[in-house]
Amino acid sequence: MVQSFVDNRILNYTRNIHAGAENLDNGNTMARVRVDDTFLSAELEIEVNIPDLKIVSIQGRIIRSFAEECKNNAEILKRAIGMRVGSGITRLVKETIGGTNGCNVFADMILEGCNAVIMGFTVDELEKQLAAETDEAFGQVLKDMLENNPRVASCIAFTEGNDLRKRLGV
Amino acid sequence: MFEFTRTKSIGVEKREDGIFLIHGFLDDNVYTIELDMEVKTPEFTIVSARGNMKRYTTPECPKAPSILDDAVGIQIGGADFETKIKKLVGRGGCRHLADLFIECCNAVFPAAIQTQWKIARSNGMGKDDFIKGLVSNEPKIRDRCMTYSKDSELVKRLGVSW
């Protein structure tokens, strides 16, 4: 007879990703990425030069993998040195680091690290914006953001004619 | 000190009717996002997707998960899958929600492999034989990366060709 006590099942696949970015004493930014899933465990460090945002050093390793051969893939990371964290990086990394002649795990981890670097720049700005204590001040912050940001149609907040824009008269 | 940290956690369970349930969670300095999806196999078609923006930056952000209804029926995989999702869920909703959505979708295939491996292992099959079968029968694996390319050491060692 089928048990009916609980409807829970054991997870048959789990994946945890952690990415962080920190400023170094030399003025550069270091991104660290860690991936652990049912099949593999990998870590990556990327140092990005500020202000030109070029990758100046990168190292990583696959610690655990389903196919032992994956552990030999770290050499390809050198291909990322000199890449600029900016427009076009996704395609460049996927084509250069990932794909048939590369490693998609490392490609995804590099992009995760690049995202952490970029998000690191936005946190300070967002903290200032979200610190506004009155509706008027917060409204002004949002208005400035919508008016001065070129990312029209990049997400629901920047969609032309949305409720927020109408409310703020943008 | 960290300027920014992001954690993404994905869990996949397989229901007895063959539907995979995927739970995704993203937490960083700026956003907290939750996602629950159902994917039907072997077609790898999205059956349902529900999201919740728990921490965000603008009053429009909580509306973003409603765009997930438009993702129902999409088949996971293919060369332009990520581009399609970034456009649909990212531009139409939230790019961080799209990021988590893609992560959840990418977890279904390895979850299906894990299910097969669990059965194979319990039947006494070794890892090499399992990989050989996988590469021989699963086009998605072939030439996916340097480990599973036709000229790789692994594929040569296992004596598989295509």
- ipTM comes to 0.94
SS3 A160: coil
Write down the pLDDT at residue B1.
62
Given a cut of 70, is residue A150 above it in pLDDT?
no
Q: Which residue of A has its CA nearest to B135?
A: A67
Write down the pLDDT at residue A161.
83
**The residue to which tokens 């492999």 are assigned:** B113
Nearest to A69 among B107, B114, B154 (CB): B154
Given a cut of 90, is residue B161 above it in pLDDT?
no
CB contact under 8 A, A70 and B115: no
SS3 B36: strand
Write down the pLDDT at residue A9.
77
Q: Which residue of A has its CA nearest to B111?
A: A13
Average confidence score pLDDT of chain A: 91
Interface test with B, best of A90, A155, A158, A165 (most B CBs within 10 A): A155
Write down the pLDDT at residue A41.
98
The two structure tokens encoding residue B102: 């893609």
CB contact under 8 A, B9 and A14: yes
Q: Which residues of A touch B90 (CB under 8 A)?
A: 154-155
Q: What share of chain B is helix, strand, coil (3-state, %, to 5)?
A: 40, 25, 30
A37 confidence band (pLDDT: 50, 70, 90):
very high
Nearest Cα to A159, choosing from B31, B58, B30?
B58
Given a cut of 80, is residue B2 above it in pLDDT?
no
pTM of the predicted protein model: 0.93
Nearest Cα to A110, choosing from A169, A38, A41, A57?
A57
Residue bearing the bigger pLDDT, B53 or A158: B53
What percent of chain B clears pLDDT 90, i.e. is strictly above it? 88
Residue ranges with strand state E in B15-160: 19-28, 32-40, 45-55
Nearest to B147 among A22, A69, A119 (CB): A69
